[in-house]
Amino acid sequence: MTKTLIALALASVCALPAHAIDFGKLLSTENINKAVELAKNTADANKELTPEQEAAIGDEAAAKLLGAKPLVNNSNLQRYVNQVGMWLALQSGKPALPWHFGVIEDPTVNSFATPGGNIVITRGLWDRISNEAELAAVLSHEITHVVKQHHLRAMKGEASRKALANLADLAVSAKGGGDKQKLIGNLGKGASEIAVRGLDKGDEYEADVFAMVLLARAGYNPYAMVSVLQMLERFNANSGGLEVFNTHSDPGARQDVIEASVGEQLEPYAGGVQQTQRFIAVKQGKSPGGTPSKGQGKKSGK
Amino acid sequence: MKHYLAASLVLAGLWATQARAESGSVIRDADLRQKPFADAAVLSKLAVGAQVEILAREGAWMNVRSNGQEGWLKMLQVRLGSGGGTNAGAAVGQGLKVVTTGSSGKTVSTGVKGLSEEELAHAQPNYGELDKLKAFGSSGTEASRLAGQARLAAAQVPEIAVKGAAASSSDGNGNSQNDLMNRRR
């Protein structure tokens, strides 16, 4: 039973299981031609997507996610997560992707990644993170999903042939000038099969382990990943698991996998950065400091 | 009277939750050390299942109190919660709908508040908000400069292979698509 609890806890966050899911569900009709190409590629030959295709698909998914929940109206916070996220992405082996990071106005504890490099965490998660290394751990986990193209693999693997076929149909309709709203509705149904599934459990493990490597590469204490997982367990125990968003795999297993895979190997880096002044400043509602005031005036229109 | 009783039960419940929140159990026999170093003096041996109160974390270590004795364990030697308890059932009962969705028969737990799948499904794409997301982006140059100010130094660290994942694949909560596919093949 404890296993179940932990599983639920992890589901809510770090596992950040929602991406593959959302990716499928969030796709809409803009750039749908590119979605067709995706469908063809994945269904036919598991061909690699071009970076442009990946980014286009990811932007659609992100737009839909942001349609559900807008960005938190705090430019200091938004700029800060981009500064931290980009520094991590630079160490990821794919520094040139169009990386963008954001915090959305949602009380649940969750985070999302789309293909192409859009990564979003909820305000509920931000509120529960206690230092920059923990933020970096969450972002690194998501960055790994993007770098390793886990969502795309999930689409192929989950045999969303049905969903892919629907995508292709939709794309055809879109070309014919079909009404956008209706198409989105159809897509919601068509992609529902894909939408309720989490990422491959193995992908989650990989994201945890590679996230720790990324943390070490970026100068953070890599074991912040473990403390995030434990924060999630604690949070969920306290909340009665109310805010769990989605599916997830056995959680005890995730720390077990970290232990079996990483164990003490990264302890030479455990003295890395844990807390920063900029994190504290942003938590207090101030500017991260040392940042150009560029974008300061770009308040949310909300 | 009834009222008082109810109130005290609620309080007791809160306390129990708090206590759980701060505590964990040792997942295998472990040495409680005086300091967060592998070669620090061993204060005592904690047996698997030993309850610890978590006081702080530092690096790969966790400062704990067990049986009134304070010391350090590796974070990975401890799992939160009381270990082997039945709290999960209660949590599910209280807050979660666990539903089986789709033809795969996978178990999916759905949160009852906040951003829901339904909201996502019905959301209209917001391209203005997407533009805003993009506008907040940081360049590699800026991110590096600010990382330097935060005393973050890049290091060469090779990738680490995932190990030990197979052991857990029999868990009923598993959502491994690979597992599913392998079984089909």
3-state secondary structure chain A: CHHHHHHHHHHHCCCCCHHHHHHHHHCCCCCHHHHHHHHHHHHHHCCCCCHHHHHHHHHHHHHHHHHHCCECCCHHHHHHHHHHHHHHHCCCCCCCCCCEEEEECCCCCCEEEECCCEEEEEHHHHHHCCCHHHHHHHHHHHHHHHHCCHHHHHHHHCCCHHHHHHHHHHHHHHHCCCCHHHHHHHHHHHCHHHHCCCCCHHHHHHHHHHHHHHHHHCCECCCHHHHHHHHHHHHHHHHCCCCCCCCCCCCHHHHHHHHHHCCCCCHHHCCCECCCHHHHHHHCCCCCCCCCCCCCCCCCCC
ipTM score assigned to the predicted complex: 0.73
Residues of B in contact with A71 (CB under 8 A): 129, 132-133, 136
Q: Please name which of A72, A61, A63 lies closest in space to residue A123, comparing C-alpha atoms.
A: A72
B94/A241 Cβ within 8 A? yes
Question: Nearest Cβ partner of B157 from A28, A197, A216?
Answer: A216
Q: What average pLDDT does this structure show over B152-158? A: 97
B182 close contact with A: CB closer than 8 A: no
Segment A78-120, tens digit of pLDDT: 999 999 999 999 999 999 999 999 999 988 888 888 888 999 9
- Say if residues A105 and A72 touch (Cβ distance below 8 Å): yes
Range in B42-51, B74-83, B92-101, B145-154 the model is least confident about: B92-101
How many angstroms separate the CA atoms of B83 and A30, rounded? 49
Spans of chain A, pLDDT less than 50: 1-33, 42-46, 158-161, 164-165, 168-197, 239-249, 290, 292-302
B115/A271 Cβ within 8 A? no
- Residue of A22, A196, A278 to mutate for B, most B C-beta atoms under 10 A: A196
Q: What is the pLDDT of residue A247?
A: 39
Non-local (6+) Cβ contacts of A85 within 8 A are A99, A101, A119, A139, A143, B138, B143
How many angstroms separate the CA atoms of A133 and A38, rounded? 35
Is the sign of the CA dihedral B92, B93, B94, B95 positive or negative?
Answer: positive
Segment A190-214, tens digit of pLDDT: 333 333 345 677 888 999 999 999 9
Q: Which of A184-188, B78-82, B90-94, B109-113 has the highest mean pLDDT?
A: B78-82
Segment A236-253, tens digit of pLDDT: 655 443 333 343 445 667
Non-local (6+) Cβ contacts of B108 within 8 A are A196, A246, A247, B98, B99, B100, B101
Q: If you measure CA to CA, which chain A residue comes closest to B99?
A: A247
Question: Nearest Cβ partner of A62 from B78, B133, B154?
Answer: B133
A3/B164 Cβ within 8 A? no
Q: Please name which of B93, B149, B87 lies closest in space to residue A84, comparing C-alpha atoms.
A: B149
Q: What is the pLDDT of residue B124?
A: 81
B43 close contact with A: CB closer than 8 A: no
Q: If you measure CA to CA, which chain B residue comes closest to A263?
A: B76
A281 close contact with B: CB closer than 8 A: no
**Terminus-to-terminus CA distance in chain A, angstroms?**
44
The residues pairing with B43 across neighbouring beta strands, listed in sequence order, are none
Distance from CA of A89 to the nearest CA of B (A): 9
CA distances from A7 to A37, A269, B90 (A): 36, 28, 14
Residues of A in contact with B149 (CB under 8 A): 278, 290
Q: Which of B7-16, B22-31, B92-101, B148-157 has the highest mean pLDDT?
A: B148-157
A252 close contact with B: CB closer than 8 A: yes
